[in-house]
Structure formats: C-alpha cells, structure tokens
Structure 1
Amino acid sequence: MTDTSTSKPTASTASVKNALVRYRVLAWVTGLWLLLLVVELILKYGFDVDALDFVPIVHGWVYFVYLIMAVDLAIKVRWPAGKIVWTALAGTIPFLSFVIEHQRTREVKAQFGI
C-alpha cells in the first residue's frame, strides 16, 4: 500500500502557490458568506424578516467555487481522500473554513517551502 501523504506532488511550486492563494481566498469568502447565512437564518426564522433572501444563493455559488479551488489544490499536493472531504465540508460549518484554511496553509507551506 502506498502512503499518499509522502507521494510526489503533481505540480510545480509556483502552481501550488497559486492554487493555495486561490483556495485561501475562497475559504475566507465562503466562511464570511456562511456567517452571513447564519445571520439570515436567525433573522428569517427568529424575527420573521426576509431582508437577506439572496444570501443562501450567493453562499451556494461561492461554496461551489470553493470546492473547485479545494480540489484543484488537493490534486496538486496529492491529499488523501479523507483530507479532501474534510476540507470540502469545512465550507458548510460556521467558522470551520477559517480553521481548516489555516491548517491546510501551514501544511502546504511546510511541504513546499513556500
């Protein structure tokens, strides 16, 4: 059985760095929209205010782009499937995208010396 965590990456350091920047930006944007979604749900179901009806749709699309960026980075650095799934799910739990983004950034920077 091959250990994928020590597998040779499929991309150059420059392309990994670019993918990491894209992933980090989308992780933060997704996390912020998710927090706004929580506010929207509290307003809607707690106070019967429909002022932020657009937030779920925007968060959904932002999350979709986040998934693409996370998978792009995962392919370049050869993450195992479990790490990819956990990283993908981070965009659905408030504040977790910020925590996972920090962890993944540290790991990738250490692995590639970025």
Structure 2
Amino acid sequence: MTSPNAAQVPTIKSALKFFKVTSYITGIFLILIMVLWAIRLIWSADVWIGGPDGLIALAQFSVDPSTGEKVGLPGPQIPNDFTTVSLIIHGWLYVAYLFGDFRLWTLLRWSFLRFLVIALGGVIPFLSFFTERYYSKVAEADLKKVA
C-alpha cells in the first residue's frame, strides 16, 4: 500500500467525516430493522404508521396458509408498514455507506479485503459501529504519516 498524497488530505478528511456519519446512521437503522423483525416474529405484529388505530400502532396479523399473505392488517401494507419503510430507507442509507467506504478505499489505497470488511458493516448488526471506530483510527493514522 502506498500512502496518500499530501494534497488529498482535505478530501480524505471530508470522506472520513462522511463515512463516520453514514456508519452510525446505517447502523442505527439496521438495529431498528432487527427490533421490528423481532416484533414481527414474537408478537405477529407490524408497526403501523397513520392507520385507523392512531399515528403509530402495533397491528396484529396472521398468515393465510393457502396464499402466504398477511391477514388482519388495517390497510394496504406498502404505504403504512414501518418495517417496509425502514427497509427501504436502510437500503438507500447502505448505498451512501458503501459510497463512503469506496471513497476511503480509493483515497487511502487500502486493500480490497478492507473494503469488503467495511461493506459488511452495513448488513451485520452492530458491525458498522466497530468498523467505523477501527477504520477511522486507521485512516487518521495514515493521514498522520502524510502530515
């Protein structure tokens, strides 16, 4: 690995800040998804937004064995099911997280294995917090070598 160019230091610091922010936001949404998944498995319920039971409510459901569809929800699933909404938001946040990972990887000229380990942080619960902490320190150490 070669060390980064001194002229790239401001760009790398900006990319590092972006990576830190996206790491935490993506990690928080991934934990939220795990909580919503647990609610779905344990209580057979989805968190419903803006339904007939109020702004936020738990909507119990059962699964029709012949079709595999959920029965008993207060309306169409896509617009009001908070689990689905949070999955979509996490997907887009993961794209931003991968972009931050890619920027650091290219600017600091890290190995591809490092890129993959950081990328896993957005899909394995709690890993983004550890990868952010560890690889931010590695990036800052690399920047100190240049200065």
Match of 1:19 in 2: 15
Deviations 1:20-51 (A, max 9, x none): 00000000000000000000101112211111
Match of 1:86 in 2: 117
Deviations 1:73-95 (A, max 9, x none): 11000110000001001111111
Aligned residues: 109
The normalised TM-score by structure 1 is 0.89
Match of 1:50 in 2: 46
Residues 50-59 or 26-35, more deviating: 50-59
Structure 2: runs of 5+ lacking an equivalent: 48-81
After the TM superposition, which residues 20-39 of structure 1 pair with which residues of structure 2 at under 5 Å, given as runs? Answer: 20-39=16-35
Offset of residue 9 of structure 1? 2.0
Structure 1: runs of 5+ lacking an equivalent: none
Match of 2:4 in 1: 9
Match of 2:96 in 1: 65
Match of 2:132 in 1: 101
Greater relative CO (CA pairs within 8 A, separation 6+)? 1
- What is the root-mean-square deviation of aligned Cα atoms in Å? 1.4
Preserved CA contact (<8 Å) 1:31 1:98: yes
The normalised TM-score by structure 2 is 0.70
Preserved CA contact (<8 Å) 2:4 2:143: no
Higher-Rg member (1/2): 2
Offset of residue 8 of structure 1? 3.1
Match of 2:37 in 1: 41
CA distance in 1, matches of 2:120, 2:95: 11
* Structure with more of its chain in helix, by fraction: 1
Partner AA of 2:109 in structure 1: R
CA distance in 2, matches of 1:36, 1:28: 12
Offset of residue 110 of structure 1? 1.0
